[in-house]
Amino acid sequence: MMPKSSATSSLGPSSRLAVRVPFVRPSLPPLSALADSYAAIIQSRMLTKGPFLDRFERALADHLGVRHAVAVSSCTVGLMLAYKALDIAAGRCEACAGDRPACPLVLAEPLGRFGMARAGGRSEPVGEVVMPSFTFLAAPAAVVWNNLRPVFVDVDPDSTNVTPQSVAAAITPRTVAIAACHNFGNPCDVSALAAIAAEHALPLVIDAAHGFGARFEGRPVGAGATVQVFSLSPTKLLVAGEGGVVATDCDCVARLIRLGREYGNDGGYNAAFAGVNGRMPEVCAATGLAGLEILEEVAARRRQIAALYRAGLAGLPGIGWVKEALGGESSFKDFSITIDSTISGVSRDGVRRALAEQGIETRTYYDPPCHRQTAFEQFHDRRQTLPVTDALSATSLSLPIGAHVDEAIVTEVCRIIAGQVRSASF
Ligand SMILES: Cc1ncc(COP(=O)(O)O)c(C=O)c1O
Instruction: Find out whether 216 and 187 touch, Cβ atoms under 8 Å.
Output: yes
What is the CA(228)–ligand 1 centre distance, in A? 12
Instruction: Find out whether 223 and 249 touch, Cβ atoms under 8 Å.
Output: yes
Q: What pLDDT does 98 receive?
A: 53
First-to-final CA distance of the chain? 31
Q: What pLDDT does 122 receive?
A: 86
Spans in the chain with pLDDT lower than 70: 1-16, 95, 97-102, 425-426
Q: What pLDDT does 12 receive?
A: 55
Q: Exposed, middle or buried by CB within 10 Å (0-12, 13-18, 19+), for 34? A: middle
Instruction: Find out whether 117 and 106 touch, Cβ atoms under 8 Å.
Output: no
Instruction: Calculate the alpha carbon distances from 183 to 15, 136, 175, 315 in Å.
Output: 28, 9, 22, 24
Beta bridge partners of 207: 181, 229
Ligand 1 cavity residues, CB under 6 Å: 74-76, 135-136, 138-139, 181, 207, 209-210, 231, 233, 235, 244
Q: How many CB atoms lie within 10 A of CB 60?
A: 26
Strands 204-208 and 227-231: parallel
The count of residues in the chain is: 426
What is the CA(245)–ligand 1 centre distance, in A? 11
Closest atom of ligand 1 to CA, residue 231: 10
Domains of the chain: 31-290 (3.40.640.10), 295-424 (3.90.1150.10)
Q: What pLDDT does 99 receive?
A: 59
Probe target for ligand 1 pocket from 74, 77, 131, 136, with the most ligand atoms within 8 Å of CB: 136
Minimal-distance CA residue to ligand 1 atom 14: 209
Closest atom of ligand 1 to CA, residue 365: 16
Q: Cα angle vertex 298, ends 292, 300, to 5°? A: 120
Closest atom of ligand 1 to CA, residue 236: 14
What is the CA(136)–ligand 1 centre distance, in A? 6
Answering whether pTM is above 0.85, one says: yes
pLDDT digits (tens, 9 = 90+) for 249-277: 999 999 999 999 999 999 999 999 999 99
